[in-house]
Amino acid sequence: MPLHKLEEMPKVSKPRKKTLARIKQSSPQKKESLVEYIVNVFFKYDPALKKQFSVISLSTVKLFTSLSYEISADVQKGKNSIDISILGLNTRQSYYVSPNPATTELLFENLFGKYTVNVIKQDGSINSAMFDFNIYKKEIKLSEISLPKKKNNRIFTRFDIATESFSFK
């Protein structure tokens, strides 16, 4: 009895992950400016880790009623810049569901001086703001909000300083 060769299953190609550099270079489609995200910056002390952090909190304007979501982001910190690429939304385990925005908190140690925070969507749109962090004076200043020159770039982010969320030891 001859042995039959098993037919090989066709291989499905894996989707390529867009790199941050490639996303920055891509040109977004033309759309109207609409604020979809809110970026809040504040200082936070974590008593469990016993460390002081500078926090960049990213949340959606839209509220979600049936599930709890968190924003998935890729972050690259440079010498004087922080690039935040928004990857999408993930569901969060929650037994109690109430209307909430999707959020994420990005914790940074040792931020001092001026940093440009770039929020980048997958289509290539970029919104930027310059913050001046001073942990010794316990203050953060928003110096400038800008829209980098790029074809079809649009405003999709609002930048704020959440002084009511400041916590120190």
Distance, C-alpha 51 to centroid of its chain? 22
Q: Where are the alpha helices (DSSP H) in the chain?
A: 20-25
Q: Concatenate the DSSP letters of all residues of 53-86 into one string.
A: EEEEEEEEEEEESSS-EEEEEEEEE-SSEEEEEE
- Selected residue with higher pLDDT from 32 and 37: 37
pLDDT at 19: 72
Average pLDDT over residues 27-56: 91
- Phi, psi at residue 39, to the nearest 5°? -110, 120
Q: Please determine, for residue 14, whether its predicted confidence score (pLDDT) is greater than 80.
A: no
Q: Is the dihedral of CA 53, 79, 37, 130 positive or negative?
A: positive
Using CA of residue 15, residue 18, residue 19, residue 22, what is the dihedral sign?
Answer: positive
Indicate the average pLDDT of the chain: 87
Query: Are 154 and 120 in contact, with CB atoms under 8 Å apart?
Result: no
pTM score of the predicted model: 0.82
The predicted structure's pLDDT at residue 130: 97
pLDDT grade for 3, boundaries at 50, 70 and 90? low
Section 6-34 average pLDDT: 69
pLDDT tens digits for 98-126?
A: 889 999 999 999 899 999 999 999 888 99
pLDDT digits (tens, 9 = 90+) for 134-162: 999 999 999 999 998 888 889 999 999 99
pLDDT, one tens digit per residue, over 61-93 is 999 888 889 999 999 999 999 999 999 999 888
